[in-house]
């Protein structure tokens, strides 16, 4: 790591931490059904929550006009105190998003003026800023889907919002790693790099389906392992919820859960295969440690997924499972970077 890059690296890693925090809070927001509590979006006036009783009552009355209250919470003796709870998590999620925007934009301008960024890093940072703006749009796009007729957001939009947050985090980490390891002295291990790329794609597919499961509340059914309900590997409901097989696998609760629980084996297999093949090569310490960390993390994540399913997605387990996915993606990004540079 070059000394002149230290402040830029700290900036990028700070962004990674904030992105991680935002996804964690986003997970809490989803698991507590808080995502539709703020029915409008204003860049400045929504920066802070209502500060007076009159403003709280105004926000609550506005919330009552939308499907989540009219079709669900009106039957649950839902009071202002309940509304304040769900409002907090959605507000906090959006507030962190604003902080991320400030943390990325203003230091970028400062580093640009002070000429601390080379041309390559400038281009990467511009991409990061664009990704951040697009992520904000995806959040609005997702919430809007739950404010029209259906009192829940589209699981497609939720998964897109979640997955793009993971991708933004991974790319931010990659840019930081480019600066941490500027000298390309490590011999590329092409066969291992290619396996790691496939493993990354498999992991992203699994994250996408994790978003589908969350969006459809598909973790609340078939709470058995290693088989689904009735002792079946593929339960009959996988094929009958939707009119076609494809729709069952992307829109049916049973089908989506089946893909997510089964594809976990594929992710584990890719990482174990990567580890097995790595024993045939002489690797640097960072390369070897990255692969070993991947193996440990994927087994922890697999176990967390099983227990989250068996206990019907309690808040703590569901959140830890999502956090571990972040750690797994971090290890995957680091390992692929070390095998590629």
pLDDT tens per residue, range 243-278: 999 999 999 999 999 999 999 999 999 999 999 999
75 is in an annotated binding site: no
Residue 140 backbone phi and psi in degrees, to 5? -65, -45
Check: CB of residue 330 under 8 Å from CB of residue 173: yes
Check: CB of residue 162 under 8 Å from CB of residue 19: no
> What pLDDT does 100 receive?
93
Enter the pTM of the model.
0.91
77: left (phi over 0), alpha (psi -120 to 50) or beta: left
Distance CA 177, CA 1 (A): 9
Vertex 137 angle, CA 131 and 140, to 5°: 145
155 is in an annotated binding site: no
Check: CB of residue 170 under 8 Å from CB of residue 329: yes
Other Cβ atoms less than 10 A from the Cβ of 321: the count is 22
Check: CB of residue 13 under 8 Å from CB of residue 330: no
Alpha helices in the chain (DSSP H): 6-31, 53-63, 67-71, 80-113, 119-144, 155-180, 190-216, 245-250, 253-278, 285-310, 315-340
> What pLDDT does 42 receive?
72
pLDDT along the chain (341 residues), means of 10: 78 94 91 85 77 91 89 88 92 92 93 91 94 89 82 89 95 95 74 96 97 94 96 96 96 97 98 96 92 98 97 94 96 95 78
> What pLDDT does 140 receive?
85
> What pLDDT does 341 receive?
78
Vertex 303 angle, CA 191 and 35, to 5°: 100
Distance CA 142, CA 130 (A): 18
Greatest alpha-carbon span in the chain: 69
Check: CB of residue 310 under 8 Å from CB of residue 174: no
Residues 6+ apart with CB under 8 A from 239: 245, 248, 255
pLDDT in tens, 23-53: 999 989 988 888 888 887 776 667 888 889 9
> What pLDDT does 202 receive?
98
Check: CB of residue 194 under 8 Å from CB of residue 242: no
Question: Is the peptide bond preceding residue 257 cis, with omega within 30 degrees of 0?
Answer: no
Vertex 338 angle, CA 108 and 341, to 5°: 75
Distance CA 65, CA 146 (A): 13
Half-sphere exposure of 265 (CA within 13 A, CB side): 6
């Amino acid at each position: 790591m070059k000394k002149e890059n230290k402040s830029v690296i700290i900036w990028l890693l700070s962004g990674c931490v904030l992105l991680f925090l935002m996804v964690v809070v986003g997970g809490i927001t989803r698991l507590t059904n808080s995502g539709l509590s703020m029915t409008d979006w204003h860049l400045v006036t929504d920066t802070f929550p209502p500060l007076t009783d009159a403003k709280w009552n105004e926000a609550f009355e506005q919330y009552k006009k939308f499907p989540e209250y009219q079709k669900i919470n009106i039957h649950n003796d839902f009071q202002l105190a309940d509304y304040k709870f769900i409002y907090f998590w959605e507000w906090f999620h959006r507030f962190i998003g604003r902080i991320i925007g400030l943390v990325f934009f203003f230091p970028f301008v400062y580093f640009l003026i002070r000429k601390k960024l080379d041309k390559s890093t400038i281009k990467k940072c511009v991409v990061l800023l664009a990704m951040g703006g697009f992520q904000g749009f995806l959040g609005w796009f997702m919430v809007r889907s739950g404010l029209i007729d259906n009192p829940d957001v589209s699981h497609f939009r939720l998964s897109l919002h979640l997955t793009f947050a993971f991708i933004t985090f991974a790319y931010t980490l990659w840019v930081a790693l480019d600066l941490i390891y500027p000298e390309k002295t490590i011999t590329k291990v092409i066969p291992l790099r290619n396996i790691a790329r496939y493993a990354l794609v498999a992991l992203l597919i699994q994250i996408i389906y994790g978003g589908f499961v969350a969006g459809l509340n598909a973790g609340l059914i078939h709470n058995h392992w290693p088989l689904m309900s009735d002792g079946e590997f593929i339960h009959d409901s996988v094929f009958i919820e939707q009119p076609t097989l494809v729709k069952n696998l992307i829109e049916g609760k049973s089908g989506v859960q089946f893909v997510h629980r089964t594809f976990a084996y594929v992710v584990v297999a890719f990482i174990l295969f990567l580890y097995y093949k790595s024993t045939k090569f002489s690797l640097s310490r960072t390369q070897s440690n990255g692969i070993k960390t991947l193996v440990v993390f994927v087994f922890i994540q697999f176990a967390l997924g099983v227990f989250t399913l068996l206990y019907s997605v309690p808040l703590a387990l569901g959140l830890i499972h999502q956090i571990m996915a972040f750690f797994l993606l971090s290890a995957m990004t680091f390992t692929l970077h070390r095998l590629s540079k």
